[in-house]
Amino acid sequence: MSSLEQRLSRIEEKLKQENEEARRRIDLNIDMSPQRPRPRPIIVIQLSPAPAPSQRAALQLPLVNDGGSRSSSSESSPQHHPYPSRPRHMLTLPTPPYSLQKSLENVEIDQKLQEIMRQTGYLKIDGQRYPAEVTDLISEGEIGSGTCGQVFKVRFKKTGHVIAVKQMRRTGNKDENKRILMDLDVVLKSHDCPYIIQCYGAIVTNTDVFIAMELMGTCAEKLKKRIQGPIPERILGKMTVAIVKALLYLKEKHGVIHRDVKPSNILIDAKGQIKLCDFGISGRLVDSKAKTRSAGCAAYMAPERIDPPDPTKPDYDIRADVWSLGISLVELATGQFPYKNCKTDFEVLTKVLQEDPPVLPLSMGFSLDFQSFVKDCLTKDHRKRPKYHQLLEHSFIRRYEVLEVDVAGWFQAVMERTESPRSSQCYSHQHMLHSLLSR
């Protein structure tokens, strides 16, 4: 077996392991009995073993359904049978003095925690700040779940606002904790970007983190499944403008690369708003380069991330997200994932490396500038692939920046005439290619 095949096999094995871990996490039943006392939000940080399930207070945000997406969209999911909960190790949040070993990673985590803790315990909605506890969140049903937690449609009792709340268990898993912190850190800082999901605040308890976000309609992946075919170019034009501007904002304002651009992380609502979400595996850029190991969904992963020159020293940049955007556009524009007939992650990864990049079919009548834009995004040599500022100068982007498109009307018509997809898993690609969490 060649070194490349060995590398692909290792990636595939990691995906399988992550898949199993994710299913175990999703299948844990959270006891939400209203007779049990609710834990009060805490501001203490130290590593400690979790209490036995019989000793732990239950949270009062009732589970209604279970389903697929991590996104904060309102489309509901089918029910599943609960499994018994298991003992976990929890991360309780640190305030000095604390005895964590001072590695650089711990320092960064501590800084994020301290910043987040200053903003926890209240929600800021429509410019007004309200003290908030878990008891103020009235669940109207679960609208999705994924590797990192569950998302509920929730009514905020103090104001009546209907919002999305992501509930994430605080386990002792380092990668999962980093994911929670990164997602919180990015959304809390991105309040001034209209193309990124807005966060109203967070509530931290001794067992969970609750992130309150604006409620969107659904994700692009579920829309594709509802339509059972292509999404019109005019809608994708507006979607492209929004996502490129969101990615540019993350890079320019916060020095962040998203690393998980895919249809399930692109949200749309009845107002016609299009926003990017899920920053759990985003990474910090150092001299405009990502220096941590590959993360994200294999189906949308750029070639330079699958087969880097030196696997021990990741050295890719935001053009990896440009590739992911290109793959997403081909999938949404054609209604099909471009790497067909793949039964394993290994086959997909191999095709990404060995085959020519996907293109928009000439037979489907796409405009020349849309075809050109996708071709540029899917330039296999990342050194020749355009960055965001170049993409914003492309005629496709310039056209849809000014062209009036009734995204809201189209979205509402689709939602009225179609049914929710049977499988609401907001993971593109039928084989559910799961996230790589190692950094």
Give the catalytic positions in this structure. 260
Cα 14–Cα 15–Cα 18 angle in degrees, nearest 5: 85
Helix (H) or strand (E) holding 267: strand 266-268
Q: Are 306 and 352 in contact (CB under 8 A)?
A: yes
Q: Are 204 and 180 in contact (CB under 8 A)?
A: no
DSSP three-state, residue 399: helix
Rounded CA-CA distance 98/379 in Å is: 48
**Burial letters for 324-363: b for 16+ Cβ neighbours within 10 Å, e otherwise?**
bbbbbbbbbbbeebbbeebeebbebbbbbeeeebbebeee
DSSP three-state, residue 268: strand
In 158-220, the DSSP E strands lie at 162-169, 199-204, 208-213, 218-219
Rounded CA-CA distance 259/295 in Å is: 7
Q: How many other CB atoms are there within 10 angstroms of residue 153's CB atom? A: 22
